[in-house]
Amino acid sequence: MIIVIQCIDQVGLVAAISGVLAVERLNIVSLREHVDKAENRFFLRVQVETPSHPLALQERVQQALAQVLPVDATILVNPMPSKRIVVLVTKEYHCLADILIRHYFQSLNATVLAVIGNYNKLQDICARFEVPFYHITHEGRSKADFEQAIGEIVDGYDPDYLVLAKFMRILSPGFIAGRVGRIINIHHSFLPAFAGANPYRQAFERGVKLIGATAHFVTNDLDEGPIIAQQIIPVSHSLTAADMMQAGKEIETAVLARAMRLVFDDRVFVYNNKTVVFE
């Protein structure tokens, strides 16, 4: 069972939390905590041995923790950590293929409920893994109509998270508003460098010696949401922009996979457009 807490920092928080768990005879397996001194903010993730009746215990622990923590505390007691996700795609297959394989072998710590694409190019691979695919074209329709059609499908599945696996459309503030903190995107550059479109072309023209990928939560500010995970690889003058793009696909896949693992394991805290990540 996982418990995650975020609140104003004050003396005695760890002792108070441990006391609640001791009363409920919950054995602590691991405990990670961090204090952001500049923001006076406390973050904690604790894993306890799962009790025989976790659902019956969840509300009691939640209430007991609320009584000993500051009034602003965000408390999540999550006895069933496997998440439910919907994936949005365009044409590129590499990130989606990795997600589907992990889903098939049950190593994703999440269930892929459906895939939505604005092209039908990736429908076949979804069929091979028996995952529902919905083709919602953006062509010949307004942005509002396009997003409404996507939103109706998403809301029908009620997922914990949306994963943008190379979904090459900019989402509107209205679509994001009801899903803040629940949309994960993979961007093909080491943000904040080369935000926006064609980052490999930008990197090539700048003559960089490193390229990277960034997984982040989506906000209204394009490619400026809280960063979950990043990684870089070296490149040289001998590579073309197309070569960089090909090399970047592997790192994009790896970074998105790492970010999903961290988020789905409840290891990521968001505060003031930054993250605290307990690896």
- Quote the pLDDT of residue 222: 79
Q: Report domain extents, the chain.
A: 2-78, 83-277
HEC assignment per residue over 139-172: CCCCHHHHHHHHHHHHHHHCCCEEEECCCCCCCC
pTM across the whole model? 0.90
- Tell me yes or no: is domain 83-277 CATH 1.10.30.50: no
Alpha carbons 62 and 24: distance in angstroms, whole number: 11
pLDDT in tens, 220-249: 987 789 999 998 877 767 777 777 777 778
pLDDT for position 107: 94
CATH superfamily, domain at 2-78:
ACT domain (3.30.70.260)
Ramachandran angles phi, psi of 116, nearest 5°: -120, 130
Task: Give the span between the Cα atoms of 215 and 255, in whole angstroms.
Answer: 6
Mean pLDDT score across all residues of the chain = 91
pLDDT in tens, 55-79: 778 889 999 999 999 999 999 998 6
φ/ψ of 25, rounded to 5, equals 55, 45
CA–CA dist 225, 41 (Å, integer): 20
Q: Mind telling me the catalytic residues?
A: 223
* Residues present in the chain in total: 279
Burial 46-58 (b: 16+ CB within 10 A, else e): bbbeebeebeebb
pLDDT tens track for 181-213:
999 999 877 666 666 667 767 777 777 777 778
